[in-house]
Amino acid sequence: MKKHNQQEIDRRRTFGIISHPDAGKTTLTEKLLLFGGAIQMAGAVKARKASRHATSDWMTMERERGISVTSSVMKFNYRDYEVNLLDTPGHQDFSEDTYRVLTAVDSALMVIDSGKGVETQTEKLMEVCRMRNTPIMTFINKLDREGLDPLDLLSNIEETLQIECAPLSWPIGMGKCFRGTYNLYRKQLHLFVPGQETRFSDGIVIEDLADPRLDELLGSQAAELRNDIELLEGAASPFDPAEYLKGNQTPVFFGSAVNNFGVQELLDAFVEQAPGPGPRATATRMVSPYEEEFSGFVFKIQANMDPAHRDRIAFLRICSGKFRRGMKVRHHRIGKDVQIANATIFMAQDRTNIEEAWPGDIIGIHNHGTIKIGDTFSDKEPLKFTGIPSFAPEHFRRVRLKNPMKTKQLDKGLLQLAEEGAVQLFRPLMSSDYILGAVGVLQFDVIVARLKDEYGVDALYEGIEFATARWVSCADQKKFNEFEKKNQGNLALDAEGNLAFLAPSEWRLGYVIEQWPDIVFHKTKEHS
Ligand code: G4P
C-alpha cells in the first residue's frame, strides 16, 4: 500500500465511550467535540440527551435528532488525528445497540464517577470490550466533588473489572480542596480553576516533585502530592503501552468534565496512545486495514434521522481499502453489486456527502430496506466480518393488531425493525403469532410507537409466558429433528430463520439443557 494511504489510516482513532448513566459521558463527549472544533458551544450535545425516565421523551428526542442535534457518529480532527467518536445509548434497555457499536471501535474510553466507583452498566460494557480485547482508557470524573479515595478507586477498578490500572495523572485533593492534577505522563502540574471552560491550557512543567515551586503553588497540599506519588510508585503499575493495547491495562486520568478539567490531557494521551484501525476477523481470514480492496460491515441502522425524509441510514465501518464516492461494491448477503452514490459522514451537528473515506471511518449509506446489521460490503472477495452479536432476549411480548386488515404492514414493519436490530422477532412453529424479544423493556414501547408512525399499524401487546430464549443447533441432524419434534410448542424461528428455544423460566431451560446433551443452546448469535 502506498505510503500516503498508510498515513491516512494510521492517523485515525475510532472509539466509543462506556459508562454508567450519570457518570458524565454526555458532558465529556461535549468537551471532546469542543476541542475538536466540531461544536462551538457547550450545550449542543447536552440538548440531545435522551431522557432516561420517559419513553415518550426518548421518542421525541429520536425524532428531533435529524434536525437539531448530533448523530450517532461524531467525527472531528484533533492535532494530526481524525477522530471518530461513536455514540452509545445511555439507557441500559438499549444496551444491545451499545454492544454492537462496540464491535465497530478500535478502543474505548471508560468514564467513572469518582463518588461511585465502578457501577453495573460499566461492568457489563466492560465484558463486551473484553470479548475483543478492546484497549480501554479511563477518565475518573467529578473530582470537584467529594468522592472516594483515588487509591481506593483504582483498587475498585482493578478488582471489579479485572484490569490493571496505570495512573497517568494524579489528583491533588478533591471536592472543595481540589487543586488540580499532576500529569505523570508529561510531568506537568495542572491547576484547577472552577468553572473555567478554557479550551486549551498548558500545564506548568515540574519535572522533579522536590521543586520548591510546588510548595509555592500548592501550599500544604504539595506534601500530600509528594506522599501520594511515593505511595503510588510502590502500589500502582507503570504505564505499559503494549499491555494497554492488549486490553490488560488501563491508563487512568482524573478530572472534571463539566469544568473541562483534565479533558485535554486525556485527549492528548488518547490520540497518541490509542490504536489506529487494526486487522479484523472474517469467517475466512483476517483483513488488514492496509489492503487495497475495500471492505466494511454494517453495525447499526438508524431510522428517521431526518424526519422530513423518513430515511434509514446504515452505518458502515470501513475495515480496508479506500472508499470513493460512486464506487461499486458487493453486498454479499444478497449477492448483488451496488453502487454507493452517496455516503455521508457525520460531524456532530452536520452531515456531509463525502468523496472518499478510509479504514476506521464510519460512513452512512442509505438503506432502502435491503441492508441488515452484520452485512458485509467489499470489492470482490466474498468476505463476512464476524463478531457482531445478537443477545438472547430476556423480555417477551406477543403482538396483537387492533385492525386485522393490517397484517401485511405489521409483517413488513416487524421484519424491518428486527433487521435494524431494534427488537428481535420470533414466529412460533405451532402458531402464527408474532413474538417480540428484547433485552430491555423500553424497546417494546419504541416498537409500538414506530409501527404506528412509520407503518401506520396500531398494535398492542399481550404478556406471554416466556422468560428466556436460546438459539439451538446440533451436529447430529437426526437428534436435532427429534428435539424439534418433542419441543415444538417452545420452538420459534427468528427473523433470519434460525431456530430458537423459548423457555418459560430459567429453571425449565436448565432442565431441557440437561435432557438434551447433544443440543447446543446459544446465548448469543452472530448475524448471518
Ligand atoms: P451521562 O451522559 O453519563 O448520563 O452523564 P452527564 O454527562 O449527563 O452527567 C450527569 C450529571 O453529572 C449532570 O448533572 C452533569 O452536569 C454532571 N457532571 C458531569 N461532569 C461533572 C463534573 O465533572 N463534576 C460535577 N460536579 N458534575 C458533573 P445533571 O444535574 O444531571 O444535569 P445538568 O442539569 O447539570 O446538566
Name residues contacting ligand 1 (CB within 6 A): 19, 21-27, 46, 49, 90, 141-142, 144-145, 256-259
The predicted structure's pLDDT at residue 63 = 47
Higher pLDDT, 407 or 525: 407
Atom from ligand 1 closest to the CA of residue 21: 4
DSSP assignment, residue 475? S
266-309 per-position pLDDT tens digit: 999 999 999 999 999 999 999 999 999 999 999 988 876 555 55
- Among 179-188, 416-425, 485-494, top mean pLDDT goes to 485-494
Q: What CATH number labels 280-378?
A: 3.40.50.300
Q: Does the domain made of 17-59+108-273 have the CATH classification 3.10.20.310?
A: no
Backbone angles phi, psi at 179, to 5 degrees: -105, -15
User: How far apart are the CA of 273 and the centre of ligand 1, in A?
Assistant: 27
Q: CB atoms < 10 A from the CB of 202, how many?
A: 9
Cell, residue 213: 515551586
Higher pLDDT, 518 or 345: 518
- Residue 94, SS3 per DSSP: helix
pLDDT band at 73; cut points 50, 70, 90: confident
Question: Range(s) for CATH 3.40.50.300 in the chain?
Answer: 17-59+108-273, 280-378
pLDDT band at 351; cut points 50, 70, 90: low
Query: Is 117:156 a contact under the CB 8 Å cutoff?
Result: yes
User: How far apart are the CA of 263 and the centre of ligand 1, in A?
Assistant: 15
Residue nearest atom 30 in ligand 1 by C-alpha distance: 22
Partners of residue 428 on adjacent β-strands:
492
The predicted structure's pLDDT at residue 66 = 33
508-521 per-position pLDDT tens digit: 999 999 999 999 99
- Determine the average pLDDT of the residues in 162-185: 93
- Residue 171, SS3 per DSSP: strand
End-to-end Cα separation, the chain, in angstroms: 31
Atom from ligand 1 closest to the CA of residue 111: 3
The predicted structure's pLDDT at residue 52 = 39
The predicted structure's pLDDT at residue 202 = 65
- CA-CA distance, 345 to 362, in Å (whole number)? 7
Residue whose cell numbers read 448469543: 524
412-431 per-position pLDDT tens digit: 999 988 888 889 999 999 99
Q: Whose CA is closest to 383, among 303, 291, 467, 307?
A: 291
Q: What CATH number labels 389-526?
A: 3.30.70.3280
Cell, residue 254: 482524573
Classify the C-alpha dihedral 314-315-320-324 as positive or negative.
positive
Query: Is 122:129 a contact under the CB 8 Å cutoff?
Result: no
- Determine the average pLDDT of the residues in 467-483: 96
